Amino acid sequence: MTKETKTMSGVILLTVPSIAYGGYFLLGVLSGQYAELELTSFQQAMFRAGHAHAGVLIILSLLAQLFADHASLSPRWKWTARLSFPVSSLLISGGFFAAAGTPGSTSPNALIAMLYFGIAVLVTGLVTLGIGLLRKQS
């Protein structure tokens, strides 16, 4: 395991408690423990999706760090691959939350663009890492 992988994985793992706390808080909201936070069904769906995407993409971020060690890429492209996964996790999950953050909203607001930008960042990382793993080792 390279120093870069250890550092990035350590930073990524430090984000997991915030995801776990978010799940705990979301469970409380959805079970009615916070009566002052009445969510529309649209908001509930978006918040669930945001939380689920955060968890799944953080796991993918950890795997990508290990794969980057074996990719045939320049250092710049390896860092592009390494960073794109955790950044996309923030953008995609944040996009779900931000797009439904207006009280009483029943449809996404303009901040939904954050989600689409996060998807573009994720695809960039996936394609970069995939090509790097398929390239002949030099």
Please state, in angstroms and rounded to a whole number, the distance separating the CA atoms of residues 120 and 92. 10
For range 75-81, the mean pLDDT: 96
Half-sphere exposure of 36 (CA within 13 A, CB side): 0
The letter for the amino acid at 77 is: W
Helix (H, G, I), strand (E, B), or coil: what is residue 138? coil
* pLDDT > 70 in the chain, percent: 99
Confidence at residue 136, expressed as pLDDT on a 0 to 100 scale: 80
Helix (H), strand (E) at residue 84: helix 75-99
Q: Is 106 exposed, middle or buried (0-12, 13-18, 19+ CB in 10 A)?
A: exposed
pLDDT digits (tens, 9 = 90+) for 15-62: 999 999 999 998 998 888 888 888 899 999 999 999 999 999 999 999
Average pLDDT in the chain: 94
Q: Model pTM greater than 0.75?
A: yes
